[in-house]
Chain A
């Protein structure tokens, strides 16, 4: 990936983070921590990896994304808005009565949302079904599932993991947002899913470990997944919960809490400052 492309992705990711903070602040509820941790991967997916058409959200040939960790919908919505599926201003309607932007993603209401999620562990199974559908019909599209590291405590994830490799779904990529935090504490303390790479390997997956905020590593991982034949790929992305907003970083209290006005202004000021730096690069 060249420097100019990387700069553009960093700027987009900063704007996705802006959108997350705007949404959660205006909703006065929601999940900023895990939205911010996955913002770089979501940005890469929508602005570099996936073949989608904002003017035709239901285009049959599109790549699909299933946000299995559905509570981080603000990151998905911000990426979709920035991509042009709906106006960025809409993010301020997050979680409000009558809004297309539900607390957790709804495929019936939001253009660009490929699967309704929110109940953890279920999205990965739907992603398997989509990948199977592509194989069955001979379609070329690829399917991406984004999971939380706490989410993989759900047994259904491993039912799906077993199935995806048994069926050779190499058109499926699962990203594990390994920010090491869940509501009740660190994932290792609550109910350790570690070692995550070994678990996916033993379930028959191609496994790639990356730094989830490093676009070179993200780019290399998705390219490697694309050319890998015969197995699904799991990208284990080491991330920082709350990434980009200093006081939210690595703090499980920001899993499901909205910033107050003062915190909101501080968060935006930090993001603005970073954006100015990026644009001057």
Chain B
């Protein structure tokens, strides 16, 4: 595995913004004093006239983004997930969501993998918050290839999109031929015994888990669900019908995130057990990112355990 490329999705975000900026002079980028961390600094260097730093004032930044969008710009507003979805929730809801303005919220440093900065910065609630906003699209890419494609796709949509990126460098999963479509889950591995539906950095863990399960004679299907809203109902229902049990995996609270979104579909359309891997109802803490992911159960091992428990329910 020495040749595995590891890149943080935030890096792909910064690069994709530059790519967009070259194609479209109506793309502008806002940040709230975190350009070096969110990687919007790449856009700032290339297009200083179209980059605006609002300073440490995320609520105002969201309003400014909305106002700019009314004048014909495609606006990317960036901060950490905690301060974008968290602090500025109501500004996003009222000034960007209710107005359905062309603003993309580029939220980096989502989840436990923020690491050493600890609980105040480890946002595990953002998917839950954003997916309750009518008309909001919520995307959590699994690697840098998908992150780039998600940014480009979001720019093509006339309306609000929440893009969730991570700080931690994670393995590249997809090749140049990978096709990304908003609202479509992607089956990465076929399987008949259980379906693992994962998002973000948990997709890699899901693929590792599937290999372990195979060794134990369990044939797991793996689905990458980058778009959490609108969720790909068809692929979820198909999985429920064909494999009978589902395990979800996300770097987010088990309350309100991917697990809840999948359960919403399954409960109404094809009730089968759904077991969730995610951050339990608790706060994060300081420590190296990889270690914290282990402590909070965001691992292939935990997916394996849940998958086995799910399969046992079928008997």
Q: Does A114 contact B (CB under 8 A)?
A: yes
B99, closest chain A residue (CB): A116
Residues of A within 8 A of B62 (CB): 125
Is B60 a contact of A132 with CB atoms below 8 Å?
no
Residues of B bordering A, CB below 8 Å: 28, 49-50, 52, 54-55, 57, 59-73, 90-91, 94-95, 98-100
**A166 → chain B closest CB, angstroms:** 8
B49, closest chain A residue (CB): A136
Q: Which of A60, A107, A156 interacts with B60 by CB under 8 Å? A: A156
Residues of A within 8 A of B64 (CB): 125-126, 128-129, 132, 160, 163
Residues of B within 8 A of A137 (CB): 71-72
Give A270 to B206 CA distance when docked, in angstroms: 73
Residues of B within 8 A of A185 (CB): none
**A151 → chain B closest CB, angstroms:** 13
**B27 → chain A closest CB, angstroms:** 12
Is chain B's binding surface mostly helix, strand, loop or mixed? helix
A129-170, CB < 8 A from B = 129-134, 136-137, 139, 155-156, 159-160, 162-163, 166-167
Residues of B within 8 A of A108 (CB): 99-100
**B62 → chain A closest CB, angstroms:** 7
Give A64 to B63 CA distance when docked, in angstroms: 15
**A99 → chain B closest CB, angstroms:** 16
Is B99 a contact of A129 with CB atoms below 8 Å?
no
Is A122 a contact of B50 with CB atoms below 8 Å?
no
Residues of A within 8 A of B73 (CB): 133, 136
Give A125 to B92 CA distance when docked, in angstroms: 12
Known pairs A115-B99, A118-B94, A126-B63; A132 contacts B70 (CB<8 A):
no
**A-B pairs with CB below 8 Å: how many?**
108
A143, closest chain B residue (CB): B67
Q: Annotate A73-91 by CB proximity to B: 1 below 8 A, 0 otherwise.
A: 0000000000000000000
Is B67 a contact of A125 with CB atoms below 8 Å?
yes
Residues of B within 8 A of A167 (CB): 52
Q: Which of A132, A133, A139, A163 interacts with B57 by CB under 8 Å? A: A163
Give A117 to B67 CA distance when docked, in angstroms: 12
**A58 → chain B closest CB, angstroms:** 10
Is chain A's binding surface mostly helix, strand, loop or mixed? helix
Give A60 to B71 CA distance when docked, in angstroms: 8
Is B50 a contact of A126 with CB atoms below 8 Å?
no
Is B95 a contact of A122 with CB atoms below 8 Å?
yes
Give A128 to B68 CA distance when docked, in angstroms: 8
B75, closest chain A residue (CB): A129
Q: Does A192 contact B (CB under 8 A)?
A: no
Is A162 a contact of B55 with CB atoms below 8 Å?
yes
Give A154 to B190 CA distance when docked, in angstroms: 53
Give A106 to B98 CA distance when docked, in angstroms: 9
**B133 → chain A closest CB, angstroms:** 14
Is A160 a contact of B60 with CB atoms below 8 Å?
yes
Is B91 a contact of A125 with CB atoms below 8 Å?
yes
Q: Does A245 contact B (CB under 8 A)?
A: no
Give A131 to B70 CA distance when docked, in angstroms: 11
Residues of A within 8 A of B57 (CB): 156, 159, 162-163
Is B94 a contact of A119 with CB atoms below 8 Å?
yes
Residues of A within 8 A of B91 (CB): 122, 125, 156
Known pairs A115-B67, A133-B73, A136-B50; A125 contacts B60 (CB<8 A):
yes
Q: Does A24 contact B (CB under 8 A)?
A: no
B30, closest chain A residue (CB): A129
Residues of A within 8 A of B60 (CB): 125, 128, 156, 159-160, 163
**A33 → chain B closest CB, angstroms:** 23
